[in-house]
Structures are given as structure tokens and as C-alpha cells.
Amino acid sequence: MIIGIIGSGAMGAGIAQVVAVAGHDVYLLDQSATALEKATAGIASTLRKLADKGKISADAAEASIARLRPTTDMRDFAGCGLVLEAIVEELAVKQQVFRQVEAVVSAECMLASNTSSLSIASIAAACQRPERFIGIHFFNPAPLMALVEIIPAVQTREGLAEEVRSLVHSWGKLPVLTKDTPGFIVNRVARPFYGEAIRLLEEGVADMATIDWALTELGGFRMGPFALMDFIGHDVNYRVTESVFSSFFFDPRFKPSFTQKRLFEAGYYGRKTGRGFYNYA
């Protein structure tokens, strides 16, 4: 099956690597040629490094790289069996992209979003054939994180979740089926994790390095909340928080913080811009 991926940022590039290694031809599309170049060079470099370390064979690395086709032209998706979107976390933009996709792909092509927080039903509602729409939510970095949430919408046809679950499993991932609710499983549990850490900081209970240290060294987390938010990107993480908060009818448990909002507004997105809670310059 040929797979189309829209968005070649952190998630789209990672997912493209996963499916190319699994043996699919992949069209990786982005509106930015620079982002596409960065993504394809990054994937090639990662796969060659894995080959150098003996984790995969050099032939497998080169074959996977050859299966990757960067494009800015959506017409290349015509032969795809699945198109998965990983663009900016904004409902109207995602809906518009799927209207364009449906004008190109066959009636059988499955459509999926990697959204962290938006309702799958609301994205599907923009489609002419919403029954072929589903959420496939990877975690960052997609090549390393085994968990993938599979989220059928109310419109999704019976059987599609099972088909997608087997497909994702064949990519070496561990899929879990969740209901179409804000933040699904992981991002819902994670909101109070980030929110409470920021409140600790705002109240002066401890500084962020201490909070991160306590949770990694003593709490057993792989990354502390501030390092993790900087890694995810505040553009993504703040939008997800706002989206979960409003989707839960403004339940104060999920209230965003001004501290993070200001980072977002300033363009201090974290690692990707060299500055977030921490300075990476």
C-alpha cells in the first residue's frame, strides 16, 4: 500500500520513517520545501546512522530511503491507500486539507489525522466520505515510541478501526483503541502533569530544573515536564492545552497557564527555536 503523509515536521517525518522502514512507498508532502528537505535529509541521516551501528542493514536503510518521495504536489496522492495528516493543530486548516485530499484520492483510500486533541468527528465532518476517517495518534519521536492511539469517530465505518489496528501493528507499534474524547488517553493524563508543574513554578515551590530533576531522578519519568514541553514545542503543546480545556467545557482541571501562553506568543517554542523554558542557543 502506498501511504501519503501531510506535514513533514517532527511528527510527519517520524511517521514517514516508520512506514518507509515497514516497506511502504511514502509520499511525504509539505507546503514548505525547506521543511521537506530538512525532513528527508534527517530521515536519511538517521537510517544511515542506524546502519552504521548495525541496528539495520545498509541495504535496508538505502531501500527505505528510496521508498520516500518528498512532494509539494497533492496530486501525487492519487494512488494512496492511506493518507495521514500531521500538520498544524488547527481544526479549520486540517478540514481544508482533507477537502483537498478527497479531490485527489480514490473512494477506498483511508484518511487519518495525527491530531493530539481535536475531535476526530469534527475533522471527519469536513469530508465527503467521513466513514473512511479515523485518528491514528503517534507519540514523539514516532520511530522510538511504541504506543499509537487508534481513535474511531462516530462516523467511522465498522471494521476500519480493526483494519488500522492490524496495519499499525505490522509497523512494529503497539496500538491501543480509544474513544474520541479530548486528548484521548495520554494527552488527557498529561495535561494536569504539565499544568501542575507550571503551577509549582509559578508559586515558587521549586525552580524548573529541580522539578525536572525530581521527576526524572526520583519519579522515574524519562523526561521532566519542562524539558518535555520544550521537546514537544510550545506551539503544539499550548494549542493542545487550549483545545482540551475548551473541549471539556472549560473545566478548570485543564486550564492553560499564562506562563506557557507568553512563551507561545513570543515564538519561544522550545528546542525547535532554541529557546523555551530553557535556553538551547
Binding site for ligand NAD (CB under 6 A): 6-12, 30-32, 35, 86-89, 93, 97, 114-116, 138-140, 232-233, 236, 240
- Cβ proximity to ligand NAD, 7 vs 130, nearer residue: 7
Report CA 155 to chain centroid distance, whole Å.
22
Q: Which of 137, 234, 237, 247 is catalytic?
A: 137
In whole angstroms, how close is the CB of 225 to ligand NAD at the nearest point?
A: 13
At 232, the amino acid letter reads I
- Cβ proximity to ligand NAD, 215 vs 229, nearer residue: 229
Give yes or no: 85 in active site. no
User: Distance between CA atoms of 245 and 190, rounded to whole angstroms?
Assistant: 13
Length of the chain: 281
Could you tell me which residues come within 8 angstroms of residue 262 by beta carbon, excluding any fewer than 6 positions away?
none
- Cβ proximity to ligand NAD, 38 vs 157, nearer residue: 38
Give yes or no: 217 in active site. no
Q: Which of 8, 149, 237, 243 is catalytic?
A: 149
Contact 276, 263 (CB under 8 A): yes
User: Distance between CA atoms of 82 and 258, rounded to whole angstroms?
Assistant: 39
Give yes or no: 169 in active site. no
User: Distance between CA atoms of 68 and 33, rounded to whole angstroms?
Assistant: 15
Give yes or no: 187 in active site. yes
User: Distance between CA atoms of 111 and 128, rounded to whole angstroms?
Assistant: 11
In whole angstroms, how close is the CB of 205 to ligand NAD at the nearest point?
A: 26
In whole angstroms, how close is the CB of 108 to ligand NAD at the nearest point?
A: 23
In whole angstroms, how close is the CB of 29 to ligand NAD at the nearest point?
A: 6
Q: Which residue is nearest to ligand NAD (CB)?
A: 9
Closest CA to 165 of 112, 116, 123, 95: 112
Q: Which of 187, 237, 243, 247 is catalytic?
A: 187
- Cβ proximity to ligand NAD, 59 vs 148, nearer residue: 148
> Which residue's C-alpha cell is 517525518?
13
Q: Which of 114, 116, 119, 243 is catalytic?
A: 116
Output the nine-digit C-alpha cell for 63.
531501500
Please identify every residue annotated as catalytic. 116, 137, 149, 187
